[in-house]
Amino acid sequence: MNTIEEQLWNYIDGNCTAEEKIEIEQKIAVNIQYHTTYQELLAVHNELNQLDFEEPSMSFTRNVMDKVNLELKPVALKTKIDNRIIYSIGAFFALSIIGIFIYAIAKSNASFDFKMPTINFDAGKYVNATTIQVFVLIDVALGLLYLDSFLRKKNLKNAEKSK
């Protein structure tokens, strides 16, 4: 677009200052090229104003969004790693640890001649009839608690099945 057309479009659209407007009006009156270009651009402007632009219906956005929601959502890409690779890495480390352990045992000068310490412990002094009775009483109480919880679970399952 040349400067004549730019000036005339600004004049037609009303985007020029008062000084520019007076100057363009004088050029249109004096210069024939300005006048013919002005007439052409004015005709184009009038044609554009007469066009009826098609507007989408009020529910257009809703319909488009409904169709978008019906589309299948893309599945996130997951890379599958071959299990053989994982097993081979695990086997390598396991064999390395076992090898280091065997090497450490082979190079060590450990003697397995070891005597158990002797403990002077008289069980008869601590275990008498009273301690045995207390131990049996605690075992019976725990057994009854377990039996109670087991029977309650069984009753709850039977009640749910009958509903």
What's residue 10's pLDDT? 87
CA dihedral of residues 146, 151, 156, 161 (deg, nearest 10): 140
Model pLDDT for residues 129-160, shown as the tens digit of each residue: 899 999 999 999 999 999 999 999 888 888 77
Contact between 15 and 41 under an 8 Å Cβ cutoff? The reply is: no
pTM comes to: 0.34
* All structural domains of the chain with their residue ranges: 3-50
Contact between 45 and 14 under an 8 Å Cβ cutoff? The reply is: no
What's residue 73's pLDDT? 75
Q: Which is higher by pLDDT, 45 or 74?
A: 45
